[in-house]
């Protein structure tokens, strides 16, 4: 497989993570962003109606990073992950979107590896 050229590596990257009432997992997920060898340019948290514990996790994370963070929230009406993610896509500004779940702990090259194989 051919490695991407520089233009793909300089794209604006949005990392979107879904979440629902699992603040401990979201904390670990967000903390794994801070270890990346290539940081995303924007983080969007697509929240399917979590309670205030998740809002607190997001608030604390915003204090740890200079990366812009957007928290989109929708009322809980049962499983609505897809609708929450669509709201996240709608507010994202990246050229390249990486989508994960809120219980994923990313290896430190996760974003860099995505960009290595990205194509226009």
pLDDT surpassing 80 at residue 77? no
In this prediction, residue 8 carries a pLDDT of 58
Which pLDDT belongs to residue 9? 59
pTM: 0.89
Confidence grade of residue 10 (pLDDT, cut at 50, 70, 90): confident
Percent of the chain with pLDDT over 90: 81
pLDDT of residue 82 exceeding 90: yes
- What local confidence, expressed as pLDDT, does residue 53 receive? 97
Question: What was the pLDDT predicted at 93?
Answer: 97
Question: Where is pLDDT greater, at 9 or 112?
Answer: 112
Low-confidence winner among 11-20, 31-40, 45-54, 73-82 (lowest mean pLDDT) = 73-82
Comparing 79 with 93, the larger pLDDT belongs to 93
Residues whose CB is less than 8 angstroms from the CB of residue 85 and which lie 6 or more positions away in sequence, other chains included:
16, 18, 46, 99
Ramachandran category for residue 52: left, alpha or beta (phi over 0 → left; psi -120 to 50 → alpha): alpha
Radius of gyration of the chain (CA): 14
């Amino acid at each position: 497989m051919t490695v991407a050229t520089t233009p793909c590596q300089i794209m604006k990257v949005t990392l979107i993570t879904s979440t629902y009432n699992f603040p401990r997992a979201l904390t670990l997920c967000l903390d794994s962003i801070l270890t990346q060898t290539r940081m995303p340019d924007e983080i969007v948290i697509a929240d399917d109606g979590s309670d205030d514990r998740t809002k607190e996790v997001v608030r604390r994370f915003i204090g740890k990073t200079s990366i812009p963070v957007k928290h989109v929230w929708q009322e809980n009406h049962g499983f609505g992950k897809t609708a929450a993610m669509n709201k996240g896509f709608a507010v994202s500004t990246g050229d390249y979107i990486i989508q994960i779940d809120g219980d994923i702990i990313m290896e430190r090259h996760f974003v860099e590896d995505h960009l290595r194989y990205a194509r226009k």
